Structure 1
Amino acid sequence: MEHAAHNPDEEQFIVRNLKEIIQILTDLSKRHEMLKVSFNHDVCLTNIISVDVKNHSVYLDIGLDDAFNSRLLASHQVVFSKDNGIRIKWTSTNISLATLKDGKAIKIALPQTLMRLQRREFFRLATPIVNPVPCLIPVSDEANPVDRTLELTLVDVSLGGIGVISADPLDSRLVIGASFNQCKISFP
């Protein structure tokens, strides 16, 4: 049986529902997400070519280096991970070579569990890039009693807060945990 390589603190992020695992892997395939492959002391990058639900298999792109591929296929435990954005990680113990219509591929069994860690507690909605959404933050302090307004560009929004882009240098009042009143965001 294959288990996701994870820390005890990550137990709450382990996905065990087969349909959800298939959906996660299919999404990775559709978005051509790069995965880090770690085994023994080797590391490489690959991506998912397809998820074969009927045969409970996952096909991944194979490298060009035959010696490296031989070490990968001989490995007893391989960790697949995506570390940027939402972290996804699982371990496979049965790796083989498959021949698909487009060429050779790495074949692994559909993982029974995987770790999916979204660092933020709330879903984040991205805002338009072409027509950026302004975020106006009124600021004042004892050294400068004249009220000013910082105009930042909204990147994303969630129930837990917003993400903004600020010009360099960053205003000294924009620090982690800061709270502002009477801000204005004009959604289109």
Structure 2
Amino acid sequence: MNTSNSVAETDTNLQPSSTLPAALAALDDFLVIRPQAVARILRQLADQKDTLDISFGRRGGRIVTRVLAVNESEGTFFYAYGDSDDENAQLQASGENLFSCTEAGAFIQFVCGQPEAQTYEGVPAFKSTFPESLYRMQRRQHVRVTTPTANPYVCTVTLPNQKRISFDVVDLSLSGVRLRSTNASIGELSVDMVLTGATFDYQDMGTMETDLKITFIHSSQNFNNPIYNFGCRFLDLPKTQEEDLQRLITVLSERQHPA
């Protein structure tokens, strides 16, 4: 299997990406901007103890957490530390952080700025200001699960110039996948571009091959150390592969939410 991207040292200089509004433009039909609605969704995440994936930093930092509490009057929310002290430190220093999760069958995504290190009920936690907006997609195909973080699944694709390159798989749904890379050579990929012959290595859960279409790009850009998140849609996925993918999603969901 191809080697995946590793997490690097704390990023103390990351600035919010000026390309973010354009990168999220494809999701405008699902935009939630009313503060009361944002607060309600965050409270639902806290009540349901839903898993929350946070991507950050120049070299692909990532933690899995959950919302602990929401303070609507202050416009802030608390969320738990991740398992890694190093990645917690990176997140605390990061100025732009991409949150993703699934709640009641809807895929939710939003961006927050640099968090504060706090405690909540005596436990170390992060505190962030509400996002100005978030995206909520209520469709069966958008039920997503996060993939393993310690030993990520890998997707290898063919670029338009015929070069083969590998990405870490961040999360999966029946309709698509989110990929991450720190390889600067892919910086010119664009929304609606087709990536052919994508092969997925799901480790003990097998492999899959399909074409992908880029639907979303989020670039936390530093000229020397870029990080790219790509949302991609599966193209012409055969029924048998869709059934295999559903089984994989079910297994991952059961591992994350054991009975």
Classify the TM-score, shorter chain: 0.5 to 0.7
- Mark the CA change 1:37 to 1:15 in structure 2 (over 3 Å): closer, same or farther: same
Residue 86 of structure 1, aligned match among 96, 100, 106:
106
- For the 8 Å contact 2:49–2:67, the answer to whether it is kept is yes
Matched, 1:76 2:95: yes
Using structure 1 for the length normalisation, give the TM-score.
0.58
CA drift of 1:68 comes to: 1.6
Cross-structure match for 2:132: 112
Is the partner of 1:55 in helix, strand or coil? coil
Cross-structure match for 1:15: 32
1:27-66 deviations in Å (ceiling 9; x for gaps): 1110000011101211221000000112211100112422
Between the aligned partners of 1:67 and 1:82, the Cα distance in structure 2 is 22
- Mark the CA change 1:75 to 1:55 in structure 2 (over 3 Å): closer, same or farther: same
Matches within 5 A, 1:12-161: 12-40=29-57, 41-83=60-102, 85-119=105-139
- For the 8 Å contact 1:5–1:90, the answer to whether it is kept is no
CA drift of 1:15 comes to: 0.2
Between the aligned partners of 1:102 and 1:116, the Cα distance in structure 2 is 32
Between the aligned partners of 1:43 and 1:19, the Cα distance in structure 2 is 28
Structure 2 residue identity aligned to 1:19: Q
Structure 2 residue identity aligned to 1:42: G
- Mark the CA change 1:43 to 1:19 in structure 2 (over 3 Å): closer, same or farther: same
- Mark the CA change 1:47 to 1:25 in structure 2 (over 3 Å): closer, same or farther: same
Using structure 2 for the length normalisation, give the TM-score.
0.43
Cross-structure match for 1:151: none
Between the aligned partners of 1:5 and 1:38, the Cα distance in structure 2 is 18
Structure 1 gaps, min length 5: 121-169, 171-188
Matches within 5 A, 1:144-183: none
Is the partner of 1:23 in helix, strand or coil? helix
CA drift of 1:17 comes to: 0.8
- Mark the CA change 1:119 to 1:79 in structure 2 (over 3 Å): closer, same or farther: same
CA drift of 1:99 comes to: 1.8
- For the 8 Å contact 2:77–2:129, the answer to whether it is kept is yes
Structure 1 residue identity aligned to 2:31: I
1:84-128 deviations in Å (ceiling 9; x for gaps): 7311010011211012223110111011200011125xxxxxxxx
Structure 2 residue identity aligned to 1:26: R
CA drift of 1:83 comes to: 4.5
- For the 8 Å contact 1:79–1:92, the answer to whether it is kept is yes
CA RMSD of aligned residues (A): 2.5
Between the aligned partners of 2:21 and 2:131, the Cα distance in structure 1 is 8
- For the 8 Å contact 1:37–1:80, the answer to whether it is kept is yes
Between the aligned partners of 1:4 and 1:30, the Cα distance in structure 2 is 30
What is the percentage of aligned positions where both structures have the same residue? 25
Q: Which has the higher helix share?
A: 2
Give the number of equivalent residue pairs: 121
Structure 1 residue identity aligned to 2:122: D
- Mark the CA change 1:5 to 1:73 in structure 2 (over 3 Å): closer, same or farther: farther
Between the aligned partners of 1:57 and 1:99, the Cα distance in structure 2 is 14
